[in-house]
A = this chain, B = another copy of it.
Amino acid sequence: MPPCISAIRTIVTMPTIKEIARKAGVSPTTVSNVLHGNTARVSPATREKVEAILADANYAPNMGAIILAHSNSRIIGVIMFNEPRGDETIVEDPFSATILGALELEIHRAGYFMMLRTTSDEAEVVRLARTWKLDGLVLFWVPPGTGRIIEDSIDTPVVFIDCYYPDDGRAYHNIGLEDERGGYEMARYLLSMGHRDILFFANVPRYPGGDEVRFGGFRRAFSEKGLDLPGDRFIHLPRDREERLGLYERLLDGSATALAFSADFYAAEAIACFQNLGVEIPDRFSVTGFDDNKFSRLIRPRLTTVHQDIADKGRMALALLLRLMRGEHVPKTDTRLPVRLEIRDSVRKLDAPESEPARGC
């Protein structure tokens, strides 16, 4: 190994508290007290000296030792439950990406570290929490029943995002959405536009419980009008893109006038597919989404959808988690963040001329 390399290695050697103490001519305990702002336990003079050496040596603690010493890592685990499929990852979904961005920002800001993982295996989550002594956990789309197992197996504060639970008489810290109301309002709107023959497309396997609740909102709106929305109007989209495109094409032979998607992305995909086939939207089909992601206003026609504040969901989840981590007692409530119907241009009034799209940037 050439000398220049070993010189670099020397720079790299990480100073420890012990070394800092030696340089400062004090004990490791004193250095530790300085590091922790234990001003009462150290004189200003030594404090200053130690601080100078600390800065000069570019001291950085060894988290391994810290974990070992008091079993917390300052790591917040962010886990997205999903079945792995083909070449699409769940992280790249615009919803996921937006909320992950918000979480990263807040975790960083709070002085914690973020460990990201996707899995469909609760045992893996438990293992992760234990081996890393995670300080907190944010769990997305946990299937019913699984949340209980996780909470019972670990000692870590947990906040769920977008989860629905079995009737096990137990409460969870959850940040969710007014899914029922979202479905209800969208259905009311579609009904008001004259649509009766509606198909609802679930969010592939991504939102256990939630899609059903949204569909429940649709049904409620229908029954309020004395109409029925049969269960076979709830359709699971295939995971495979080609299969989805085939499904969209086959809809052209059907009688539905409106297609309600439980995610903007698939709505956009379907619209593009129809347009590529020369089928005009919303002339042939009215199409609606859910979430109001960043792209729903960029596609044409602009997508009528159910708006939610995605980044805010992440911020709320983290604020809650931080409180739990501080040991505050927070009542377990299933928070349902508000939704708002966002009417744009992808739904047409039946038996009426097309509406003029809105203007303005």
Binding site for B on A (CB under 8 A): 8-9, 11-12, 14, 58, 60-68, 71, 73, 75, 84, 87, 89-94, 96-98, 100-102, 104-105, 108, 113-119, 126-128, 130-133, 152-155, 245, 248-249, 268-269, 271-273, 275-278, 294-295, 297-300, 302, 311, 358-361
Residue contact B62 to A68, C-beta cutoff 8 Å: yes
Chain B contacts of A311 at CB under 8 A? Answer: 87, 89
Contact A295/B268 with A61-B131, A89-B102, A113-B115 known, Cβ cut-off 8 Å: yes
Docked complex Cα distance between A226 and B14 (Å): 57
Residue contact B269 to A298, C-beta cutoff 8 Å: yes
A302 to chain B, nearest CB (A): 8
Residue contact A89 to B63, C-beta cutoff 8 Å: no
Name the residue of chain B whose CB is nearest to the CB of A96. Answer: B97
A282 to chain B, nearest CB (A): 13
Partner of A67, one of B62, B105, B153: B62
Docked complex Cα distance between A97 and B14 (Å): 34
Question: What 10 A-B pairs are tightest by C-beta distance, nearest first?
Answer: A64-B67, A89-B101, A91-B101, A97-B97, A64-B68, A300-B300, A92-B101, A60-B130, A92-B97, A12-B155
A264 to chain B, nearest CB (A): 10
* 7 pairs, CB–CB < 8 Å, chain A vs chain B: A11-B152, A60-B131, A87-B311, A114-B117, A248-B361, A276-B360, A278-B359
Partner of A64, one of B64, B90, B105, B272: B64
A309 to chain B, nearest CB (A): 10
Looking at A66, A75, A91, A297, which has the most chain B CB atoms within 10 Å of its CB?
A91
Residue contact A272 to B298, C-beta cutoff 8 Å: yes
Docked complex Cα distance between A11 and B151 (Å): 11
A173 to chain B, nearest CB (A): 16
Docked complex Cα distance between A102 and B88 (Å): 9
Residue contact B108 to A101, C-beta cutoff 8 Å: no
Chain B contacts of A98 at CB under 8 A? Answer: 89, 92
A147 to chain B, nearest CB (A): 15
